[in-house]
Amino acid sequence: MQRYGSVIGLNEAQKAKYIELHAAVWPDVLKMITACGIRNYSIFLKEPENLLFAYFEYHGTDFAADQARMAADPVTQKWWDVCMPCQAPLEKRKEGEWWADMREVFHHD
């Protein structure tokens, strides 16, 4: 199992919509997340800065392949089309990132 954390901004004007969407995530999106080996997935909102922090655990064997599978899913693509306008990627993220990956510096079970 591998833990992942990432961060992105949230557009103030879209905050209520984003929260509403995530109060009722589409069932097929949740099924795809699970099918791609992702467990214990949470998104936290830091206000008033409007930063979203995502945490999940990956229980598969090929993260890149599972992420490609998720990205190819038509329902997930539609979900992202709805959610992405609500988000504000960080200026200093790595090339190719939407959500900026974070490095784990501490963990305790």
Give the pair of three-digit tokens for residue 11.
């557009």
The number of domains in the chain is 1
| CATH number of 18's domain | 3.30.70.100
Mean pLDDT of 13-39: 98
Residues identified as active-site: 22
* Cα separation, 48 vs 70, whole angstroms: 31
CB-based contact 9:52 (threshold 8 Å): yes
Distance of CA 46 to the CA centre of its chain: 15
Q: Is residue 45 part of a domain?
A: yes
The closest alpha carbon to 59, from 42, 44, 40, belongs to 40
pLDDT at 78: 98
Per-residue pLDDT tens over the stretch 29-40: 999 999 999 999
Mean pLDDT of the chain: 97
Q: Is residue 42 part of a domain?
A: yes
The identity of residue 54, as a single letter, is A
Q: Is residue 97 part of a domain?
A: no
Per-residue pLDDT tens over the stretch 69-105: 999 999 999 999 999 999 999 999 999 889 999 999 9
pLDDT at 107: 95
Structural domain including 61 reads 2-90
Q: Is residue 82 part of a domain?
A: yes
Q: Is residue 66 part of a domain?
A: yes
